[in-house]
Amino acid sequence: MTKQSRLARATLLTAAIATVAALSACGGSNDGNSAANGGGGGGEGKVTLRLFSNLPDRKSGQGLAEQTVIDNYVKENPNVKIDVETLAEEPFKNKLKAYMSSNEPIDITMVHGGAELNTLVQAGYVKELDPKQYEGEQYNFLPGVYKSFTFDGKLYGLPRNSDYEVIYYNKKLFEDNGVKVPTTFAELLDAAKAFRDKGIAPMSINGKDLWSFGEMFQNVVQRYSGDQNLILDAVDKKKKFTEDENFLKAAQFLQQVRDAKMFQDSFMTADYGASQNLFTQGKAAMWYMGSWEAGMATNESLPEEFRQNLGVVQFPIAEDGKGKIDDLLAWNGGGYALVSSSKHPEEAKKFFDYLMSANQWAKTAWDTGAAVPAQKYELTGKESEVQKKLTDILVNASSTAGASFIDYGTPKYKDDTQNAFGKFFSSSAKPEQLLADLQAAADTQ
Amino acid sequence: MHRVFQNKTAIFLFVFPGMLLFALTFLAPIVLSGYYSFTETVGPGTKVTMVGWENYANLLFHDPKFWLALRNAVLLGIGFIVIQHPICIFFAVLLDRIGGKAEKVFRTIFFIPCVISVVVISKMWLSLLDPTFGLLNKVLDVLGLDMLKHAWLGESSTALGSMLFILIWAGFGWGLLFYYAGVKGIPEDLYEAASLDGASGLKLHLRITVPLLSPVIAVQVTLAMITALKQMETVFLTTNGGPGDSTQFLAVYLYNKAFSASQYGYANAISILFVIVCLIATYLSNRFIRSDATEY
Amino acid sequence: MRTKGKTGIWIFFLIVAFLQLFPLVWLVDFSFNTSADFYSDSILKWPSSPQWQNYVNAWVDGKFMKYFFNSLFVSAVTIVLTVVLSLTLAYAFTRMQWKLRPLFYSIILLGIMIPIHATLLPNFAIFKELGLTNSYLGLILPYTAVSVPLGTFMLTGFLKGIPKAMEESALMDGCSIYRIVFQIIAPLLMPALVTVIVTTFLNCWNEFIMASTFLSKDALKTLPFSVMNFAGQYSSDYGSQFAVMVLTSIPAIVIYALFNEQITKGVTAGAVKG
């Protein structure tokens, strides 16, 4: 009986797949038709490239910069059409994994360096690049920017920005309430208290996405230890979270941050957009985010008053720590990669090279004030205050981290680590508990 | 019995397409899941290492989150049964009593939340319960109940309760409709007979309505447990299991394990256990309540 | 005394209905406001100038019409398939005589219990292999598969309550089995079929997780997805986000209003027959 039904099931399955394959063949040919119709006016050899991006807002910031480059390219290459699929950050990451597991033939994708890209590399979903090709004037990449994109000595993507964590703040809220812009941890806690007393959220953070907690922890650890590599060594298990006292001090500081109610009330349900909104609507005094948000200063969909009062400052220092204010938590996170299963590998590569040229993405992103590129760029003299300050911060950096520690291990490590922070900030767990969880994450990656 | 009813061709034509679809979307994936559940891999198409029962052993014996997700599902299910269902029955009885045009109007109104997309419901409640601009906290302010203000979905202590509340709001109409149908099926003369015996009000309903509704209740309780176990979208779109796992559910957990943590093998082991748990839950609730429950 | 009790229920119901629908009123209200208005203290806010722009954004950038027709098409085909498959299955399970009947019936019922989320990952891989991920079929097939077990379950219950006399006399007249199912039984099952149609409609109209996992082509996306898309695109503009939410809710509410009588009849009839 069981044997028979197993056989029956197997037959069913085969038949199912055969039938559906036949059905889908019809679907496929329909698709072909519509594509042909769509490109009817384009003449011979029309190529459609698929770009997958995490920038759904195409009218401001980085999305606008990306779209501008695409439009430029299409204008210069009328035989190419570029379909852009965009999703917000978190859905984007999930969808990219789905694409990876089904080997979807997109052509170019946005990628996050480190753990995320590593998964794609293991799956063979992204193409290896030849770093020699990207040397020299045309691309002008800054030294050392490939770190998060290189695995086993091979390069798999190019960074689009210099990413570094800063604190954006609302000058008017600070002035009106007589609060000093914090340069030390004590001042940061004082500011939290002062704003809380006035009923203003001191600092907005995207707690639902969890990763900003990780960046902040890395920032704090560096401020105590003065050593950019300490935390990366801990991920590599050369050091222990539970043993080095700098980790303990950092975790204790985060506990103070938590107890001072530094973050907005809704911080655990706030995603990227929600945390940004609170800040841009003047309801939070600070926003802990990266340099890629430089575009806020020039984004006209934001309130005029907010844009005029937008300031940016480095992460404060610990009074009793060894880190300096100019030590920067900088790395190269976001970038682009070529997809192996691309149906138009040559055309894709051509566009990719165009996109990454110093006078395309880097120039456009900088000129529109969207981000700080990972390539050399010319100052135009028309930069916003925020851009100038961000440039100063980068140029004056006395040391840089090179990698974000949550992205330094496996994807599982990242997930476990982020959840450890989520647990810590949503409960009254002790700093020691956080460190134990972080250690466990490092041990089981 | 007519021979036509044994017509093999007809039976085949009637059953085959449905079974085929079932095989394609349920059986085949489960078989595939079963295979991956014994492996360690970041996704199909990558290096696959067979690890035997390791994923299952880890899940059952070393993964508190798995049990937490199950516990949350049970709590949610109990919440449905203890809170939502009595309310639904109560409203169904009242609806039957009110009669006339009002019966129709209110029946329609109470069902409206059920037709709204889960995406809208989630996003809307995320805003409604937002501590800064949300409706609930503003109302509490106006009523002078500031001390009750919470970051409802953002605090571990209130998150699961808030989730239950949202789901009750969204699912109330369905429960009401089914119980209402049940109440309508109770013959009027039973009530008359009972009230001649001197029963009235609550006693009347406890003696007549509830026992006569028991087949409906049995089906609804089973469905409530299944709904609680299967809970995914609302959680995924509001808290994503947080804060700190306080609203973790199996479906969300497996989704995040597969996509965020790239533990594809492990996620598939969760899938398989998930299916098994759902089947056991159905079996148990059918068993406990009434053997003929599915004969609805 | 009876009328007094009824007035009490009336008032009670009015209060409950008000509380229950208030979130929706709030949603509509703030869809006419700017983002800045969200942070004011008032519970409802009469917009100083209604932000019709929010609805323009929702309509144009939310690609409302395109997604609307996709939703409509996917739902319509799914409904037709679900009705046909559930009807034939239910008939085979109640009337036809065959050996594996109980086994197959239990298997189909498993479909109600098995969580679709558990099969999501491998399903995606299988559909991809079959080239279904970027076609309407990629949604229609799983939606139908999910709807058929419930539909079969409802129709089976209903069919058991229908006497066989009519079919038997039709057989005497030389009617074929297929005509019996589609021309004699189907009309008798109308109330139950309407319930199946409406539940199927609501399920596919509002389904989100499969749509977001299986589809990537913009031309195929369905309405719930436009809310998600839009939330990314207009992340800083709550008013427009609310507007797109209101817009996507309207069609389902309208359709419900049209068929509301039949749904209740279907459910009621099913329960009484059981």
Same domain, A353 and A392: no
Closest-approach residue (CA) in chain C for B22: C145
On chain A, the residues whose CB falls within 8 A of the CB of C131 are 21, 24-25, 27-28
On chain C, the residues whose CB falls within 8 A of the CB of A28 are 131, 135
B228 vs A381, residue with greater confidence: B228
Q: Mean pLDDT lowest for which of A173-182, B97-106, C39-48?
A: C39-48
Residue A364 domain-assigned? Answer: yes
On chain C, the residues whose CB falls within 8 A of the CB of B120 are 224, 227, 245, 248-249
- Distance between CA A404 and CA A416 in Å, rounded? 15
C245 → closest Cβ in B114, B120, B135: B120
Q: State whether residue B176 is helix, strand or coil.
A: helix
Chains interfacing with B (3 or more CB pairs < 8 Å):
A, C
Please check whether residue B74 is in contact with residue A154, taking contact to mean a CB–CB distance below 8 angstroms: no
β-strands A158-159, A334-338 pairing: antiparallel
Same domain, A179 and A50: no
C43 → closest Cβ in B99, B109, B135: B135
On chain C, the residues whose CB falls within 8 A of the CB of A30 are 135
A365 is written with which tokens?
A: 């992103």
B185 is written with which tokens?
A: 């099926």
* Domain boundary assignment for chain B: 1-31, 37-129+160-295
C181 is written with which tokens?
A: 């199912």
C130 → closest Cβ in A20, A103, A274: A20
Residues 252-281 of B with CB under 8 A from C: 254-255, 258, 264, 267-268, 270-272, 274-275, 278-279
On chain B, the residues whose CB falls within 8 A of the CB of C148 are 18, 21-22
Same domain, A156 and A167: no
C130 → closest Cβ in A17, A34, A58: A17
A264 to chain B, closest Cα gap in Å: 8
Q: State whether residue A369 is helix, strand or coil.
A: coil
Q: Write the pLDDT tens digit of every residue in A215-272.
A: 999 999 999 999 999 999 999 999 999 999 999 999 999 999 999 999 999 899 998 8
**Is C132's CB within 8 Å of A91's CB?**
no
Residue B144 backbone class (left: φ over 0; alpha: ψ -120 to 50; beta: rest): left
**Sign of the CA dihedral C69, C248, A274, A258?**
negative
**Is C233's CB within 8 Å of A56's CB?**
yes
Range of the domain at A48: 42-162+332-378
**Is B43's CB within 8 Å of A283's CB?**
no
A302 → closest Cβ in C131, C229, C236: C236
User: For A5-157, where are the E strands, in sequence order?
Assistant: 47-53, 80-86, 108-112, 150-151, 154-155
Residues 23-42 of C with CB under 8 A from A: 35-36, 38-39
pLDDT reported for residue C2: 52
Q: What is the mean pLDDT of residues A159-180?
A: 94
- Distance between CA B97 and CA B99 in Å, rounded? 6
C156 is written with which tokens?
A: 């089976």
Residue B149 CB coordination number (10 Å): 16
- Distance between CA B87 and CA B81 in Å, rounded? 10
Beta bridge partners of B40: B49
C135 → closest Cβ in A27, A272, A302: A27
A80 vs B282, residue with greater confidence: A80
Q: What is the mean pLDDT of residues B22-32?
A: 90
Same domain, A204 and A287: yes
pLDDT reported for residue A338: 96
- Distance between CA A157 and CA A138 in Å, rounded? 17
**Is A416's CB within 8 Å of B130's CB?**
no
**Is A56's CB within 8 Å of C134's CB?**
no
Q: Does residue B113 register a pLDDT over 60?
A: yes
DSSP summary character for residue A362: I
Residues 184-243 of B with CB under 8 A from C: 184-185, 215-216, 226, 229-230, 232-233, 236-237
| Token pair 């134990």: residue | A436
Same domain, A304 and A345: no
Q: State whether residue A291 is helix, strand or coil.
A: helix
Element (H, E) at B50: strand B49-50
Same domain, A366 and A403: no
The model's confidence at residue A39, banded by pLDDT at 50, 70 and 90, is very low
| Tens of pLDDT, residue by residue, chain C (274 residues) | 455 577 888 899 999 999 999 999 999 998 898 877 877 777 787 777 788 888 988 888 888 888 899 999 999 999 999 999 999 999 999 988 888 888 898 888 888 888 888 888 788 888 878 888 778 998 999 999 999 998 998 888 888 888 888 888 888 888 888 888 888 888 888 888 888 898 899 888 888 888 888 887 778 888 888 788 787 778 778 888 899 999 989 988 888 888 888 777 777 766 544 3
ipTM of predicted complex: 0.87
- CATH code, domain carrying A53: 3.40.190.10
A412 → closest Cβ in B45, B130, B262: B262
CB contact C216 to A (< 8 Å)? yes
| Token pair 């680590």: residue | A417
pLDDT reported for residue C270: 60
Q: Does residue B5 register a pLDDT over 60?
A: yes
- DSSP assignment of B211-247: HHHHHHHHHHHHHHHHHHHH--HHHHHHTTT-STTTT
**Is A16's CB within 8 Å of B21's CB?**
yes
Beta bridge partners of A375: A141
**Is C157's CB within 8 Å of B36's CB?**
no
- Distance between CA C211 and CA A110 in Å, rounded? 22
CATH class of C62-273: mainly alpha
Q: Does residue A5 register a pLDDT over 90?
A: no
**Is C124's CB within 8 Å of A58's CB?**
no
Q: Does residue A362 register a pLDDT over 50?
A: yes
Q: What is the mean pLDDT of residues B10-36?
A: 90
**Is B111's CB within 8 Å of C208's CB?**
no
Q: Mean pLDDT lowest for which of A171-175, A297-301, C233-237?
A: C233-237
* Domain boundary assignment for chain C: 62-273
Residue A86 domain-assigned? Answer: yes
Q: Give me the amino acid identity at A62.
A: Q
- Work out the end-to-end distance of chain A between its first and last CA atoms, rounded to an integer number of angstroms: 45
CB neighbours of B77 closer than 8 A, spacing ≥ 6? B224, B225, B227, B228, B229
pLDDT reported for residue A1: 37
A102 → closest Cβ in C128, C141, C232: C128
On chain A, the residues whose CB falls within 8 A of the CB of B155 are 268, 426
Q: Does residue B4 register a pLDDT over 80?
A: no
pLDDT reported for residue B48: 85
Same domain, A336 and A325: no
**Is B43's CB within 8 Å of A100's CB?**
yes
**Is A20's CB within 8 Å of C216's CB?**
no
- Distance between CA A227 and CA A399 in Å, rounded? 9
**Is B44's CB within 8 Å of A98's CB?**
no
A203 to chain C, closest Cα gap in Å: 17
A239 to chain C, closest Cα gap in Å: 37
pLDDT reported for residue B289: 62
Closest-approach residue (CA) in chain A for C104: A5
B255 to chain A, closest Cα gap in Å: 9
Q: Write the pLDDT tens digit of every residue in B164-188.
A: 999 999 999 989 988 988 888 888 7
**Is B131's CB within 8 Å of A283's CB?**
no
Residue A423 domain-assigned? Answer: yes
Cβ-based contacts under 8 A for chains A and C:
93
Q: Give me the amino acid identity at B160.
A: L
Q: Give me the amino acid identity at A111.
A: V
B149 to chain A, closest Cα gap in Å: 10
**Is B142's CB within 8 Å of C43's CB?**
yes
How far is residue B79 CA from its own chain's centroid?
Answer: 11
> Residue C268 phi/psi, 5° resolution?
-60, -50
Nearest to B181 by CA among B116, B100, B88: B88
C160 is written with which tokens?
A: 């058991």
CATH number for the segment(s) B37-129+160-295: 1.10.3720.10
**Is C248's CB within 8 Å of B120's CB?**
yes
pLDDT reported for residue B284: 83
The pTM for the full model equals 0.87
Same domain, A132 and A149: yes
Chain A positions touching chain C (beta carbons under 8 Å): 5, 17, 20-21, 23-25, 27-28, 30-31, 34, 56-58, 83, 85-89, 91, 95, 98-99, 101-104, 272-274, 276-277, 280-281, 283, 301-303
**Is A122's CB within 8 Å of B42's CB?**
yes
C105 is written with which tokens?
A: 């019936």
**Is A416's CB within 8 Å of B261's CB?**
yes
- Distance between CA B238 and CA B121 in Å, rounded? 10
Q: How many domains would you assign to chain A?
A: 2
Residue A268 domain-assigned? Answer: yes
A266 → closest Cβ in B31, B132, B259: B132
